[in-house]
Structure formats: structure tokens, C-alpha cells
Amino acid sequence: MVSDPGMLPTVVPPSPTDESPVDRQARPRWRRYAWGLLLLAIASGIGGVFYRQSAARDSPTPELTEALPVDVISVEPVERYTTEREYTGELVAGRSSVLGFERAGTVVNIFVDEGDRVVAGQPLAQLDIRTLEAQRQQLEAQRQEAVAQLRELQSGPRQEDIVTAEAAVAELEQQVELARLQRDRREDLYAQGAIAREELDQETYNTGALEKRLAQTQSELAELQAGTRSEQLDAQTARVSQLDARLQQIDVDLEKSTLYAPFDGTVGTRSVDEGVVAGSGQTVLSLVEAGPLEARVGIPPAIADTLTLGQAQTVRLGDRTYSAPITALLPELDATSRTVTAVVQIPAADLTVGQTVRLVLTETQDTQGFWLPTTALVPGERGLWSVYVLTEPDAAETSGETSANMYTVGRRDIEVIHTEGDRALVRGTLQAGERAITSGTHRIVPGEVVQWVPE
């Protein structure tokens, strides 16, 4: 019985007193069989050892000429290396414009089509200008009227008007003189009681009215004799200037009713056709400047600090390569990529705006190491790399003339710093002047004897 379920039961071997008579009789027989099998196994093992030693002595030693031939290079240290890095950008035009009219109107003519080459100042499209022309004619008539009035004011009153005014003044002076005499007589008669007061008042009123008419006529004569006032001349001159300004505005609108090419280039897109009512600022045509295109490439700020304006760099577009100078390094970092935009001018006319370009920059790294063919690299432990080198063989492995050109494979642990095509820059336990094996590394192991014949 097991009292504790957490404890394993203890197995108690049976005591000799528990054996049956049958077991005591069978035990000597089985012991004899076991001892016999053990002696047979020992004898077989000893015989196998002697057989292998005899076979090893009798087998011929492999000839050293059967060693695997290999190719090697002598490793030489380097202090630095150069790398090429490519930075991607986009090809853009030096200038590109989206063209439209400043005022709204009906498009009556489009003189170009997509892909046409144009020169600066060439008409591209035109709006309906009949309304503007009618407004201009009306303003021109008003201006002519205003100019005529200004000239009249500048010339002053005519001599005939002055003579007429003088005659009117003289006539009124006589009438006033006669009226005064009649009034004086009426006063005498009234004093004598010959007439009524009413007649005297009537005569006095008539005399006063004539005197006022005389004063007014004399003032008009004086105004004619003095000529036109300066204020009138200024007011009329201002009216003429106002009409001139309105005419100039009409002329500007007429000029802007025709769309001109701002620079030499190629028509890109044509957004409207004839008969369309174009709004102010609506896109009509796009124009891309003809001439060298520019590549805008984002590069790290640290790399941009090493570049100088005018420095020629290599630019690749597809399978074509160009030498292009750096024309600008924009002072602000790109908000998205946090890179400096380098502007490179590409001297080619058969390129397309929007193409992807690659700016190739050469960088020098100060690092010590050795250049090796990639065929010399052997995978090592823990993700590292190794290289096999030639070492002098032991005297026991080679003898006599057969030791010529025979070497033992050694192993050197290395670190790959940089790869470039079919070669790699490495550093590690490799020493300058050692001969690294570059062929057949997958067929050899460290300690193996190989053959190398110097050229």
C-alpha cells in the first residue's frame, strides 16, 4: 500500500529466501550463457581492431599529387574605400506655367494645340472683344466732347459776347438815368400835392429795378472781360483725364483678351475649346519651357554639406548617363523627407518632364581592411564569415620532392565591411601578405593539404 499519493512506491527486491527451487536450478544455466556471449563480443572487438590496423598498414598512402589545386590572391591592406550611392529624384522643367485669362469671356480662338512648340510673345488664345470695342468707342466720343469744352474754356469768351454785354450795360445806364429823373419830378409833384403817394412809390420801384438790372449786366460784362476761372479749367481737365484712364483700362482688357506665351516652350495640356465661356483665372493651356531640364533630388544634409555649386555629378535616367552640374542647394529641408533638395541641370533636350532620375554620389570612407573576391568568403559561425588561407604544411604530411607547391588550409575569421559587385572589403584575423584561397572553398576544410602553383 502507498500511504502518500505524492510519493512513488518503493520496489523491494526479493530476498534469496523467497526463491523457489526451480529458480535456483535455472540460475547457473543462464549465467553460463551470459559469460559465453560476453567472451565472444570481446574476441570480436579485438579482432576488428587488429584487422583495421593491418588494413591501414597494407593500404598505400595517397599521393600528394592528388591534392586539390586552388587559386589564391595575396591580400594587401587598404586605408580607405569609395562607395557610390544613388539618390532618387524627379525631372522637372526650368519653368512651367498654367495659363488662363484674367477676365471672364467667351473663347473665340485657340491658335495652338497640344505638343506645339511656341516662342515668347506668340498668341495662344483669344476671347470675344466686341463688347470692349463698343465701350471704347463710347468713351472716345465722351472724351472728344470733354476736350472741346476744355478748349473753349481755355480760349475764354468771344469778343462778340463782350461787345453785346457792353451795349446792354450802356442801354441800361440810360434807362436808369431816365428813371431817376422821372422819380425826382414825382417827388417834387408829391411835395406840392399834385400827385398821390402811389404814383411816387411806383416810380421809385421802377428806378430800383432798373438799377439792379444794370448791376447784373455790369457783373456779367466784367466776368466776360476777366475770362474763364481757373477752377473751371481744372474741373474740365480732370474730366478729360478720367476719360483717358477709362480708355486705358479698356485697352488693357483688350490686350489681355489675347493669351500670349510668356517664354519659349512646348504646349502641354489644352483644357478648353472654342465657344467655351472661360472664367477669370480658369486654366486654358499649360506651357513647359524648352531647353535644359532640371532634376530635383533629395539628399541627406550631411552629404549636401560636402557638395559645391557647379560641381559636375553623374545622373542616370534609365540606361543613359549624364554629367550634370549642381546649380542650387535649396536652403530649407523637405518637410516630409527631411532632406536637402539638390537642383541639377541636365543638358539634354529629348527628355520628358516627370522622369525618375538617380543622382550618383561618390563617398570616401576611412576604414582599414582587405579587398577579397566574394568567391573567397566562407560562411562561419554565428553568422560571421571566414576565409581560407595557405599555410606551410607539417613535415609529417609532406616529404621530399612531393612537398613542392603543397600547403595546408588555414582558417581566418573576418567581418564583411562593404560589398561592391563581385568583391568585398573585409577585416579580422587576416594578415597582410597572406594568400587567400579564391576557388573551390566549398570542397576543402581547414587542415586539408591543397596544391597551388605560382604563376
User: Packing angle between helix 230-256 and helix 130-155, nearest 10 degrees?
Assistant: 160
Can you give the three-state secondary structure of 326-379, one letter per residue?
Answer: EEEEEEEECCCCCCEEEEEEECCCCCCCCCEEEEEEEEEECCCEEEEEHHHEEE
Q: What is the pLDDT of residue 425?
A: 93
- Contact partners, residue 312, CB within 8 Å, separation at least 6: 323, 324, 325
CA–CA distance, 366 with 81 (Å, rounded to integer): 7
Size (the chain), residues = 455
- Answer for the pair 174, 217: CB distance below 8 angstroms, yes or no: no
CA–CA distance, 142 with 135 (Å, rounded to integer): 11
Across 140-202, where does the E strand assignment appear?
none
Q: Which helix (H) or strand (E) holds 37?
A: helix 21-58
Name the grid cell of 292: 535644359
| One-letter identity of residue 340 | V
Nearest to 282 by CA among 267, 292, 269: 269
Q: For the whole model, what pTM was predicted? A: 0.50
Between the CA atoms of 418, 384, 412 and 376, what dihedral angle is there, to the nearest 10 degrees? -60
Backbone dihedral angles phi then psi of residue 87, each to the nearest 5 degrees: -120, 130
CA–CA distance, 444 with 439 (Å, rounded to integer): 10
Backbone dihedral angles phi then psi of residue 228, each to the nearest 5 degrees: -75, 145
10-residue stretch averages of pLDDT, the chain, 455 residues long: 38 43 47 57 52 43 65 93 88 87 92 91 94 94 92 72 80 87 87 85 88 86 70 87 94 93 90 91 89 87 88 88 89 88 82 87 88 92 88 64 77 91 92 92 91 85
- Contact partners, residue 86, CB within 8 Å, separation at least 6: 316, 358, 359, 360, 361
Question: Which residues on neighbouring strands pair with residue 84, listed in sequence order?
Answer: 362
- Contact partners, residue 403, CB within 8 Å, separation at least 6: 64, 393
CA–CA distance, 149 with 230 (Å, rounded to integer): 14
Q: What is the pLDDT of residue 71?
A: 93
Largest separation between any pair of C-alpha atoms in the chain: 210
DSSP code of 157?
S
Across 75-166, where does the E strand assignment appear?
77-78, 81-92, 96-99, 105-110, 117-118, 123-127
Degrees, nearest 5: CA angle 238-243-245: 95
Cell 599555410 locates to 391
Q: What is the pLDDT of residue 416?
A: 92
- Answer for the pair 257, 131: CB distance below 8 angstroms, yes or no: no
CA–CA distance, 142 with 160 (Å, rounded to integer): 29
Burial of 93 (0-12, 13-18, 19+ CB in 10 A): buried
DSSP 147-187: HHHHHHHHH-S-HHHHHHHHHHHHHHHHHHHHHHHHHHHHH
CA–CA distance, 292 with 345 (Å, rounded to integer): 7
Cell 484674367 locates to 102
